[in-house]
Chains A and B, each alone.
Chain A
Amino acid sequence: MNNTTPPTSLQAASEQAAAKIAAMPVRPKVISCPICGLRFISYDDLNGHYISEHPDSIPPIAVTLNVNGKNCDLIIEPQLTLKQVLQFHLGLTGAKEMCDRGACGSCTVIINSKPALSCNILAAECDGKIIETVEGIALIPKWKPLIDAYCKWDAMQCGYCTPGFLVAAKALLERNPSPTVEEINKALSGNICICGTYPRHAQAITEAVEFMAMEYANAVERS
């Protein structure tokens, strides 16, 4: 068996997601000039080097992103999108790129509590912001019924767009805990699934909502 055997339970998947979040670097391992390769102790030193040695080039920028509860100090090229930084700097692959221009919702993340398209936002714009990705959502027990229902109802076929749908669904339920089917379809209308799984999402979300309401009622009763 190889080391990429996929997790077949939510617990195992959450553990892998947690490992990915734990592996995100909190600061750059090396600060180096992308043009000449020289290494520096601080970002300010790098910036100074740019001004003196590469005056015609735009220097990398320093940003702090709070991703899934973890502050990550990064030095990045200013043209990178949040999606690119999540993948290439932080190793998170939950936000996917399908359309490359904000038309498909596969790259959906939550920024400061609002769903956003990470392929259409520069990481530079996210400095100091709180970003949630599907990997982070997978760790929160509250959303277990949502993920369970997605898996139970096959609200995915090839699975590529699924994380984007799930993040959009979570964002919907945060602002509307008991949406109607029409409200669900409207909230997910920015997400494209080429496999055509649309009816499954409303089914899964509706069932998750019922389950979560029941759990809440039971908790109230117990207390």
Chain B
Amino acid sequence: MADLAGANGNRENFRVVGKPNLPGLTSYAMATGVAKFGSDFTVPDMLFAKILRSPYAHARVLSIDSAVALAIPGVTDVVKWDDPIFSEVGNDPMAGTKPSFLLNEAHKEGQEVGAIVIAESEALCEEGLRALKIEWEELPFIVDIEKGLDPDFPAIRGQEYDESGTYGAPTITKEGHPWMVQHYPEDPRKVGNVSWSTKSDGDVAKGWSEADFVLEYDVNVHDVVSLLPNPQASVAWWSEQNMYKHGETLRIEGAVGRRGMIAQMYGLPADNVIQEGLFQGGKYCDWGLRMSQEITPLLSKKAGKPVRCCNTREENFDMCVNERHAHIRLGVKKNGLITAVEDSTVIDHGAPNSSEMTTYDRDWNGYYSLKCENIIQRYTIVDSNRSFMYTCGQFVPYSWDMITVGLYLISEKLGIDPTEIARLNLHGPDSQKDTRPVPSFEACLEEGKKLMDWQWHKAGTKRLPDGRLHGAAFRYQMCPRHAFLQYFTKLEYRDGVVHLPTQGPIAGWFGTECFTMIAAEELGLNYEDICVDYDYRAQHTDEAGGSDGVTGHGWIVKECANILKKKILDAAVREAEIEITRFGPVEMPKPPSPIKGYTADELDIADGKVFVKSDPSRFVPFSSATSETITAEYGGNSPKAAWSTEFGRKLDTMNTSWCEVAVDEETGEVEILKYGVVIDPGKVIRRTSLESQIDQVVYFSQGAQLLEEYILDPETGVKLNANMIDYRKPTTLDVPVVDKGVLETRAGNGAYGASGIAHNLANSHMIVTAIHNAIGVWVDPPATPDRVIKALANAAAEKGVQK
């Protein structure tokens, strides 16, 4: 599984790769405020646009009278959903199909619907929106997915949405979801607002018969908001003047890295779309473009001026996790070995066109990391008007913690350390039948125990000197690496310097820095020697599918760098043979080259020199090794990663996370005493950003489990806390110090055996499990003090009733 296929995959000595504290290429731009994000762009004579948002969870616009709005000085236009101009724009290919770009029906509160106001300022846009006389038809809505299970509840979406593709999922046909039809033909097709999907592996009946006892438990995963930092915005304008191609040219800023998609939507050749901004802001795998990032070219064309459209915080309140409620039964032998898994989950399907990532696809979860092959997953999927999720989020795959909780409950029942239960149940590197230990897991486990001074205890049995209850939890997962994207890299040696042309988006994972380090390593250069040329037309992109894709893309860069190196050495040999320098008609003898007479195989590059391997005193400066301009290109898939092809059935690089909490029974306050993460990313490429990624994932996990709560009014379906005061993210005073252990087993198959780290460290229930270990009671996240006290009181009341 390690990087054996590529050049220097097993390199032992690293000069550049793995180095900490190399400043990011764009860090100074970001720190000093000169980096421009979409909402930062302003253009002279620019107009502003604001899109009408539904105040109802589900409603249809029957009519809009815009006369009063249009009479406001400075309001230049009101574009309604039935304006023929919308036929000029195609749908975002990533978002799938919908009847029209702007609809007159909203499927969640806050959804864009009905009309767009264009005006000379944002304030005038808002005044214009307020002045619209809108006739609404309120429609039945579901924000409580239990309510959606009622077969008598009217269908909340038309059949056209059952035929639409959505983020990351195959197109649904009239016969049902093709993936479901293929894999689960026995499932009933959709009824009302509910779909079903059942996946069964192994012999579950046999699994139950082998079990000595059955554990039954619930895992409730609540909604978490992705809360992208920057307002999703764009500004666009049209021009006949262009640099690269004749014809009408569109300049759009804000849809960073999606120039091709915008070109496709507007039927333009990609060369006629200019986009110079690089900075996208954090995405956390929330990849989708918002309407505010797509609509400005259309509005600019109509207005004949540049148009800017910018979402507010409330308008950027989309989902990182849609809620799901799992009821799980485990068949378990006396020694703690799991023999059968039954997962019955009810999932919020979200509003139409919301991402279906992991809604239907059950492979991508933790169950297949077990030796137990008898697994049945029954999913009940409920359409709702709760929210919208673009692509996915940091927490995908969601189901890993179903196993974290299960292993913990087995350990509680049997009085055995959960790390031993995990060790017993985890299958070997190659398959679920493989009983060998996974070296990476064993290493992460042992290191984690040392890091935490791990001493397990049963729930509710340890009190700290200050009187609070102590709890601890552990989880393991596989280190992720994307391998489903095609990557491309071009390197160029020009005027003695190696150039890496790349486009954005720059979104926080320092991908280009990693690629630069890999290229420098392979070319015998320093990090600073590689010149990164940011060019929106470059085929190479920083994106790489996010942080977990960087090591796969890095593998492509490594191969490309070796191709370039060979070409440079070949050219240096040719250059060494030249005996005469020509300046027009003048010929001058050239001093003999110190590397003349050697073949490319006898040469190498290091320390800014091309030198003879057998006699390093014979060299020429790298910068003048050849006067030729040399390019190297390499593209395609990196080696297939077990994470994204085997979904846990094969295990290479692993990680363990650990958490200790103190819970005050009087106040319900939870304090994280210690949070430890031991990862094996295979090989560290850029240490500083790798460690920073760990902090980021822990921050997401902590926020989700202790603070963040998305609240909808059940009576109206309206969001009640769509702002950053009432929807609480952790601050510098909340976050724990994360103790980190970083191992390098080189067991991954990205560059040098590297994997990623982000996705599978994100957890929805490890801190909650530690709280249970402290107080012996489950608290559904977020475990806010009031919920902890309530859970304790309920448990006490139940005990009283039982007595």
Contacts and interface: CB of A to CB of B under 8 A. Distances in A.
Interface string A5-38: 1111110111011001000000000000011100
Given A97-B231, A154-B24, A158-B229, A6 B695 contact: no
B729 A194 contact: yes
A195 B35 contact: no
Contact of A196 (B278, B313, B699): B699
A42 interface: no
A101 B723 contact: yes
B541 to A, nearest CB: 15
A157 B509 contact: yes
A interface, size bucket: 35 or more
Interface in A172-216: 184-186, 188-202
Contacts of A197: 692, 695-696
A166 B227 contact: no
A99 B696 contact: no
A162 interface: yes
Given A98-B313, A189-B731, A154 B278 contact: no
B32 A138 contact: yes
Contacts of A20: 34
A6 B25 contact: yes
A153 B21 contact: yes
B40 A13 contact: no
Interface residues of B, number: 71
B306 interface: no
From B33, B40, B123, B725, name the one whose CB has the most chain A CB atoms within 10 angstroms.
Answer: B33
Contacts of A161: 229
Q: Which of A93, A101, A160, A200 has the largest count of B CB atoms less than 10 A from its CB?
A: A160
Interface string A156-169: 11111111001000
B698 to A, nearest CB: 7
A195 B313 contact: no
Contacts of B785: none
Interface in A53-106: 77, 79, 87-88, 91-101, 103-104, 106
A134 interface: yes
Interface in B390-440: none
A163 B313 contact: no
B676 interface: no
Contacts of A138: 31-34
B735 A34 contact: no
Contact of B230 (A94, A96, A186): A96
B669 interface: no
Contact of A163 (B22, B32, B507): B32
Interface string B17-29: 0000111111111
B26 A8 contact: yes
Contacts of A220: none
B276 interface: yes
Given A97-B39, A159-B508, A199-B737, A7 B29 contact: yes
B30 A192 contact: no
Interface stretch (B110-118, B447-455, B528-536, B637-645): B528-536
Interface string B759-776: 000000000000000000
A158 to B, nearest CB: 4
B508 A158 contact: yes
A98 B724 contact: yes
B120 to A, nearest CB: 7
Interface string B733-754: 1010110000000000000000
B141 interface: no
Contact of B28 (A5, A12, A154, A188): A12
Interface string B29-63: 11111111101101000000000000000000000
A52 interface: no
Given A7-B32, A197-B695, 5 more contacts: A93-B37, A101-B723, A152-B22, A159-B26, A196-B697
Interface of A: 1-10, 12-14, 16-17, 20, 34-36, 77, 79, 87-88, 91-101, 103-104, 106, 133-135, 138, 147-148, 150-154, 156-163, 166, 184-186, 188-202
11 contacts: A13-B29, A96-B37, A98-B230, A104-B724, A158-B229, A159-B506, A191-B731, A194-B284, A195-B282, A196-B700, A198-B735
Interface of B: 21-37, 39-40, 42, 73-74, 120-121, 123, 227-231, 276-284, 312-313, 506-510, 532-536, 688-689, 692, 695-700, 723-725, 729-733, 735, 737-738
The 8 closest A-B pairs by CB, nearest first: A94-B33, A196-B699, A159-B30, A157-B508, A158-B508, A158-B282, A6-B29, A151-B23
